[in-house]
Chain A
Amino acid sequence: MNLSVLQSGFFGPPGALVPDPVLEIRRLGKSFGGLQVTRDISLTLNAGERLGLIGPNGAGKTTLINLITGVLMPDSGTVYLNAVNVNGLSQPQRVKRGLARTFQITQLAPTITTLLHVEMAIHERNGSIGNLWRSVDAYPEVRVEAMSILEMLRIESLAQRPPITLAYGEQRLVEIALAIALRPRVLLLDEPMAGVPERERHIVLNALERLPPELAILMIEHDMDLIFNFAHRIIVLAEGALLADGSPKEIRNHPAVRIAYLGLASNPDEPMTTATLDRR
């Protein structure tokens, strides 16, 4: 744990010096046949931190998310949630321990209304999802909480509409509402802007700003404007390995990143090497 903190050169947000990370992965590796898609990746995520994850297509970003959530099992390395090794736990068990995610392509039940979606997430969190007899309409406190989450995201007007009638950006908000309803400690946002048309962007941006400040967030995104504004820290993946890790400013000026990903020429006047990163 300490090792990776030193490697990243990050000491948490103000007021949280050397915090316990809510999510930590150590030396994670995964291959599909002969193709190694994740190579020896370590990172930590602290409460309240906004961590950006970028990398070209095929860099292994979604595989990393799948390894963290438990959809895939790693070949090597360990995932810790709240300092507990969760390698042997299934995805639902990890969700119960405070790990929520959204999907790159929205995943919702097409005909279940927005409100019932959120209520379902709350029932899941409360354990009342297993109740076989009591009507879903007979939980006034769940309904109130679900409505308050929708109001927080300013989508209370969508409450009675099912996803098939919603615009893509609105569906994205429903996914975020579901994640909030689970009251996670860690939230993984897999490309929240993907497929969202220009005119709906502001809806998603507003929602992201309203996320609880104590929540630890790992966001994958190809939208550089968004991620450089949103993240406190950014890590760059390339070919399954960690290429760089630093503040948005550092990443913007990182020569290897500029060449590999941002599509800019590395600036010879202002050389940024790994050594200079370490000094910070």
Chain B
Amino acid sequence: MNAFMRIKAAPYLLIGLVGATIYFFFPAQLPLASRIATLAIFVMSLDLVVGYGGLATLGHSALFGTGAYTAGLLALHSTPNPLLGLLVGGASGATVAALSGLFVLRYQGLTFLMLTIAVGQIIQNIASKFRAWTGGDDGLSGFTTAKILGLATFDLQGRVAFLYCTGVLLICLWMMRRLMGSAFGLACIGIHQNRLRMAALGTEIQPKLLTLYGFSGWFAGIAGALSAQVNQIVGLDTLGFELSAEALVMLVLGGAGSLFGAIAGTALFTTIHHVASNVDPYHWLFVIGAMLVCGVLIPRERWGALMRARP
């Protein structure tokens, strides 16, 4: 397995393989899989900030929701072109990240965390007040998405949507891997681990973090736009605190600082969420809670021992 993962294209092949399995053998789960793919892009974008940059944020949905609303508005008022929607959604996420980052990135730790929550609340409130544009509590709807690449429109089984989401996920994963594998990515990890050292190497810390935050906003915006296009509705919850918190849980579950961890964590959390809420729609949160408590209470070494004990 390890040898396989060392092949450059391995992660993409693995995702393609899992995708193909779902596509051909579990067609009923395609909407769930599309949701996982969309959220995985979002959680990976969160990973850039939390896992690589070392800045814990609880306001990341502001960037996701901005992308979603922008893509929705674009489709409603201008063009239903999906790729353009993704680009504009990403650009809007990056813009919000850059503008808020100018201010919030001056702080670290709890202060940064609080400020990101504040930014999220402000943007959610703006969206809620401008009913004429955003639809307020009713959400933004009534827009359509044109044929993907001029080939196919979304079908009821969600096949096209699934292929579209998986394709965007693969491209985003590839871009983020390039970004974090570059000298810039290395410097971001350095800043996370030791700012004193990086300053002594001559690194300008704030501009680096702002760039990272901007890229994170770009990918979060793309994820938001994708979710808007596939669901054809954008609600205020896309800007909500809950989404930010859940994304953070998914990231921690899969392992912050690894893009594959982000994808795995998203898949795990969303699947358990789905299954548990089917079994017991009222108490499913207990299952998630119990799982997290187990994950935290059982020390890493014990997990390792459990894994090794199996032949």
Docked-complex contact A112 and B190, CB < 8 angstroms: yes
Stretch in contact with the other chain, from B63-71, B90-98, B192-200, B265-273: B192-200
**Cα of A124 to Cα of B186 in the assembled complex, Å:** 11
Specify which chain B residues have a CB less than 8 angstroms from the CB of A121 in the assembled complex.
Answer: 201
Q: Does A31 contact B (CB under 8 A)?
A: no
Docked-complex contact B203 and A135, CB < 8 angstroms: no
Q: Pick the contact of A136 from B183, B200, B202 — CB < 8 Å? A: B183
Q: Pick the contact of A124 from B181, B185, B203 — CB < 8 Å? A: B203
Contacts A92-B202, A107-B200; A120 near B186 (Cβ below 8 A): yes
Q: Pick the contact of A131 from B184, B194, B199, B201 — CB < 8 Å? A: B184
Q: Does B204 contact A (CB under 8 A)?
A: yes
Docked-complex contact B189 and A112, CB < 8 angstroms: yes
* B interface size (C-beta, 8 A): 26
Docked-complex contact B202 and A96, CB < 8 angstroms: yes
**Cα of A50 to Cα of B288 in the assembled complex, Å:** 62
Q: Pick the contact of B184 from A96, A111, A112, A130 — CB < 8 Å? A: A130
**Cα of A132 to Cα of B201 in the assembled complex, Å:** 18
**Cα of A171 to Cα of B201 in the assembled complex, Å:** 16
Docked-complex contact B179 and A120, CB < 8 angstroms: no
Contacts A131-B183, A132-B184, A136-B181; A109 near B202 (Cβ below 8 A): no
- Measured CB to CB, the nearest residue on chain A to B192 is A109
Q: Pick the contact of B194 from A96, A108, A125, A133 — CB < 8 Å? A: A108
Docked-complex contact A120 and B196, CB < 8 angstroms: no
Smallest distance from the beta carbon of A277 to chain B beta carbons, Å? 35
**Cα of A69 to Cα of B198 in the assembled complex, Å:** 13
Q: Pick the contact of A100 from B189, B194, B200 — CB < 8 Å? A: B200
Specify which chain B residues have a CB less than 8 angstroms from the CB of A100 in the assembled complex.
Answer: 200
Specify which chain B residues have a CB less than 8 angstroms from the CB of A128 in the assembled complex.
Answer: 183
Q: Pick the contact of A129 from B194, B196, B203 — CB < 8 Å? A: B203
Q: Does B187 contact A (CB under 8 A)?
A: yes
Specify which chain A residues have a CB less than 8 angstroms from the CB of B203 in the assembled complex.
Answer: 92, 124, 129
Specify which chain A residues have a CB less than 8 angstroms from the CB of B108 in the assembled complex.
Answer: none
A86-128 contacts to B, CB under 8 A, are 90-93, 95-96, 100-101, 103, 107-112, 116, 119-121, 123-125, 128
**Cα of A134 to Cα of B182 in the assembled complex, Å:** 5
Docked-complex contact A133 and B182, CB < 8 angstroms: yes
Specify which chain B residues have a CB less than 8 angstroms from the CB of A22 in the assembled complex.
Answer: none
Specify which chain B residues have a CB less than 8 angstroms from the CB of A101 in the assembled complex.
Answer: 200
Q: Pick the contact of A134 from B183, B187, B190 — CB < 8 Å? A: B183
Docked-complex contact B184 and A124, CB < 8 angstroms: no
Docked-complex contact B189 and A109, CB < 8 angstroms: yes
Specify which chain A residues have a CB less than 8 angstroms from the CB of B200 in the assembled complex.
Answer: 69, 91, 95, 100-101, 103, 107, 178
Smallest distance from the beta carbon of B156 to chain A beta carbons, Å? 40
Q: Does B178 contact A (CB under 8 A)?
A: yes
**Cα of A116 to Cα of B185 in the assembled complex, Å:** 12
Q: Does A23 contact B (CB under 8 A)?
A: no
- Measured CB to CB, the nearest residue on chain B to A121 is B201
Q: Does A182 contact B (CB under 8 A)?
A: yes
- Measured CB to CB, the nearest residue on chain A to B196 is A107
Smallest distance from the beta carbon of B180 to chain A beta carbons, Å? 10
**Cα of A92 to Cα of B205 in the assembled complex, Å:** 9
Contacts A131-B182, A134-B183, A135-B182; A124 near B193 (Cβ below 8 A): no
Q: Pick the contact of B193 from A93, A112, A134, A135 — CB < 8 Å? A: A112
Smallest distance from the beta carbon of B173 to chain A beta carbons, Å? 15
- Interface residues, chain B, with chain A CB atoms under 8 Å away: 178-179, 181-187, 189-190, 192-194, 196-205, 211, 215
Q: List 25 A-B contacts (CB under 8 A).
A: A69-B200, A92-B199, A95-B201, A100-B200, A107-B200, A108-B197, A109-B189, A109-B190, A109-B197, A109-B198, A112-B186, A116-B186, A119-B186, A120-B183, A120-B190, A121-B201, A123-B187, A124-B203, A125-B202, A132-B184, A132-B211, A133-B178, A135-B178, A135-B182, A136-B182
Top 5 A-B pairs ranked by shortest CB distance?
A95-B202, A109-B193, A107-B197, A123-B183, A107-B196
